[in-house]
Amino acid sequence: MLEVILIITLVLLLPFVPMFIIWAIGAWGERRHIRRILEREAQFRGFPVSNLKRLPEGAQEAFLASGSVVLSADAWKTMLAGFRKIFGGRFKSIEPVIERARREAILRLLEDARSRGADCVHNVRLETANISNTQSLAVEVIAYGTAVRTRR
């Protein structure tokens, strides 16, 4: 009797196994990405970034720098968002995905600026485009700004 119940529960749970794997991989990937973002943001501590339109004192050279990223949410998050659409409220599963995409794009902008000899970035703009299809959710974020080299 006990075995029968056990087997029935196993069979009922079987369809959820792939979902669980997807959740696990997605959560692991997200944690790893956040760690990488924090590490790289630490490298840019003290590197002035602003969305002000004014040029800093002693500016010598200015050029356009940009960074972009396409990030997709895993199928588990997309499914949760689908339920959320029915009941309304805050999309807690999707919010961190978009935030990670923005921070990644800004970091790439800063890396681009620094590798080309700039020491600050001003007038930063963020542009987000939705490139999802019916089964999944993905966003493209571009960050661009004026990289400035100042006299030192």
Partner 1 sequence: MEKDLILTNMETLPGHRIVEHLGLVQGNTIRAKHIGRDIMAGLKNIVGGELKGYTELLSEARKEATERMSRQARELGADAIVNIRFATSSVMQGAAELFAYGTAVKLEKE
**Closest distance of CB 3 from partner 1, Å:** 34
- Comparing CB distances to partner 1, the nearer of 7 and 95 is 95
Per-residue contact flags (x/-) with partner 1 for residues 105 to 144, judged by CB under 8 A? -----------------xx-x-x-x-xxx-xx-x-x-x-x
Decide if residue 103 touches partner 1 (CB under 8 A). no
**Quick count: other Cβ atoms within 10 Å of Cβ 91?**
16
Q: What are phi and psi of 50, to 5 degrees?
A: -150, 165
Tokens at 10, concatenated: 């196993």
- Comparing CB distances to partner 1, the nearer of 44 and 70 is 70
Contacts (CB under 8 A) with partner 1, residues 15-74: 22, 25-26, 29-30, 33, 53, 55, 59-64, 66, 68-74
Rounded CA-CA distance 143/104 in Å is 9
**Closest distance of CB 20 from partner 1, Å:** 12
Give Cβ neighbours of residue 113 (< 8 Å, ≥ 6 apart). Answer: 65, 121, 145, 147
Contact residues toward partner 1 (CB under 8 A) are 22, 25-26, 29-30, 33, 53, 55, 59-64, 66, 68-75, 77, 97, 104, 122-123, 125, 127, 129, 131-133, 135-136, 138, 140, 142, 144-146, 148
